[in-house]
Amino acid sequence: MIYYHLSYTNALSNFLTIRITIPDNKEQELYLQLPAWRPGRYELQNFAQKLGKVSATVNGEAVSVNKITKDKWVLKHAAAGPVEVVYNFYARQMDAGGSWLDEQQLYLNPINCLMAVEGREEEPCQLQLALPDSYEIACGLEQPEKFTLQAPDYHVLVDSPLIASASLQHSKYEVNGLPFYIWFQGECTPDWLRIKADFEAFTKEQLELFGDFPVSEYHFLNQILPYRYYHGVEHANSTVITLGPAELLMSWGLYKEFVGVSSHELFHTWNIKKIRPVEMLPYDYTQENYFRTGYIAEGITTYYGDYLLARSGFFTAAQYFEELNTTLQRYFADYSRLNLSVADSSFDLWLDGYKAGIPDRKVSIYVKGALTALLLDLQLRQATNNRATLDQVLVRLWNDFGKQNTGYSDQDYERLVDEVAGTSFKAYFEHYIYGTTPIEAALAEALPFVGCTLQKTESQLLTEQLYGFKTVADGTAVKVTAIAPDSPGSQVLSVDDELIALNGRKLEQNLQPLLSTTDTAAPVAITFFRDKHLRKVHLQPNGQTYYSKYSIEKRTEATEQEQENFKLWLKQDFFN
C-alpha cells in the first residue's frame, strides 16, 4: 500500500504539506509522476508549477531527488529501506477542478497534487488528513476511520475530490435502493424538500434510460460561493460543482443552473467515466490524450443534461426550449461553424479548446455536440417512425463498451447508430460530425416530425444585421469585438477599433440609436481610433444579413401524429 499524508500549519498561507510513504520499496531507482492534466478538462494544466521543494529520505537518511521532466522525479539508491517523500502544494484555486485551503475548509482535487509511484499505480492507497477535530469529510472514498480515506488504486484516489469542513450541510435521497448524497459548503440556505424532489426525478430518469448504475453510491459536492460562478467536473462516483452567488441559490435563474449542471455531471457517470473513448482507456496523465469523439463525451451529455430535465418534468416544454434556444444562440454567435468540424475541434481541445483563440477557428464540442445529438435523435425517430432513438444508441454504448471496460472508437459509434437505425447514417456523420455543412436545413427538416419548427430572425442590432460586426461599450469606448467574414465591416474595420462617431455624431453608448434614425441604404461614415490613430471609413450594406438568430418553437398546425411524436420525445403533452 502507498500512504499519503496531508497537513498544514497555517491555513491562510494556502500551503499543504504532503508526505508520501512507501514502506516496502524494492526499486533502486524510484520514479514519481505528478499528473499534467485532469479528466474533464482536456488541456495540459501542469500542476507541478504549484509544488514547492521536493525532498526525500530512505530509511531515515536524506537522499537526493532529481527532477527529470517538468512533473517527474527520480530517487536513486532508494532500495535501502522505507522511502518518504515530502513537498508543499499551493492550494488556492477555487473552481470545480482546483484545490483550496483556508481557515474554514480544505477542498482538494487529489489529481492536482498527489504523485504516483511509477509502476505501482494499481496498488491500494491510503490518504490521511490532519484536520481540526470539528471537521467532517465529504468524499466518495471509503472512510475506515476519521480523517482516513482508502482507495483501491491510484486512479480511484486521484479521481475522488473531497471537501473537509466544520460547516458542511448535507442530505441524502435514494433511487432504486442506491444512495445519493448532496453536500453544500458555503453560506447558503438550501430548500431540501425541493432539491431532493428535483434530484430524485432526474436521477430516476437517467437510471431508467441506462437500466443500472456504474457505482454503489454517488456524491454531489457543491461549493456555493459569494460571487457569480458556474463550473462542474465529473468523477467516478461524485462531482464537484462551484456555483454562486450563494444568496440566489434557490432563485429560479440560478437554481435551474444548479439542477442543470447536476444532471449533466450525473450523466457523465456513464458517459466518459465508464463509456470512454479508446484513446483514454486507461488515462495517460503525463501527456495529451487526443480524441475526436468529444461530440459524444461532452456533446451528448450536454444534450441529455437538459433533455432529461424535460423528460423528468423539471422543465416545462417552454422552459426546455429556452435552454435549447440559448444553445442555438451560442452556436450562431460567430462563424466558426463553417471552418472546423466538431470532430476536429474535439482533437484540438488540447490546443485551444478552453480559450477564445483566433476568430472563427473552431466550434464548441459542447454546443455543436449538443445540437448534432438533438439532430441525430430526431432523425433516428423520423427514419424509423419512433422505433429507434438516441437512447438506444447510448444503451448499446453502455452494454457493449462501458460495462465491458472497453474503449470505443468513432467507427464503433457510427456502427452502433447504423445498427440501431437499421439503415446507414453515413451522410449525417460526413456532413455534421466530420464536415462543416450548415445544420439549419437538417434541423428544419427534422423538427416538424415532433411538431416543431426552426425559426430564423434577424439581429435587432443593425451593426450586426447589415454591416456584420459586433461591438461592446465599456463606458469609455465602443469597441469592435467580432466581424463576420466577407461582410461590409470586414473590408474596413478590425477587432479592437474604438468607434467614436457615426456620420459626424458622437457615440454615447453604441451605434444602434443613431443607426435606427439613419438611411442605412446610403453609405454611413464611421470615425474611430485604431492603434491611437484617428481613422474614418464608409460602410454600406451588401444585401446580405449577418448574425441571424434561430429558435425552436412549436408549430400551431402540428398534426395529431406530430403531437404524439412530441410526447414520445419529451414525455410531455404538446399543449401543456
Per-residue pLDDT tens over the stretch 276-314: 999 999 999 999 999 999 999 999 999 999 999 999 999
At 197, which amino acid appears?
A: A
Answer for the pair 383, 418: CB distance below 8 angstroms, yes or no.
no
Comparing CA positions, the residue from 157, 147, 148 lying closest to residue 125 is: 157
Q: For residues 360 and 355, what is the distance between their CA atoms, to the nearest angstrom?
A: 12
* DSSP assignment letter at 114: P
Backbone phi, then psi, for 174, in 5-degree steps? Answer: -125, 145
- Cα torsion angle, 355, 344, 265, 202, sign: positive
Q: For residues 287 and 43, what is the distance between their CA atoms, to the nearest angstrom?
A: 9
Q: For residues 20 and 41, what is the distance between their CA atoms, to the nearest angstrom?
A: 26
Helix axes of 301-311 and 192-210: crossing angle, nearest 10 degrees: 110
Contacts of 221 (CB under 8 A, 6+ apart): 138, 139, 161, 162, 163, 183, 185, 238, 239, 240, 241
* DSSP assignment letter at 365: T
Instruction: Cell 435606427: give the residue.
Output: 516
pTM above 0.95, yes or no: yes
pLDDT tens digits in sequence order for the chain, 576 residues long: 999 999 999 999 999 999 999 999 989 999 999 999 999 999 999 999 999 999 999 999 999 999 999 999 999 888 878 999 999 999 999 999 999 999 999 999 999 999 999 999 999 999 999 999 999 999 999 999 999 999 999 999 999 999 999 999 999 999 999 999 999 999 999 999 999 999 999 999 999 999 999 999 999 999 999 999 999 999 999 999 999 999 999 999 999 999 999 999 999 999 999 999 999 999 999 999 999 999 999 999 999 999 999 999 999 999 999 999 999 999 999 999 999 999 999 999 999 999 989 999 999 999 999 999 999 999 999 999 999 999 999 999 999 999 999 999 999 999 999 999 999 999 999 999 999 999 999 999 999 999 999 999 999 999 999 999 999 998 788 999 999 999 999 999 999 999 999 999 999 888 999 999 999 999 999 999 999 999 999 999 999 999 999 999 999 999 999 999 999 999 999 998
Using a pLDDT cut of 90, give the percent of the chain over it.
96
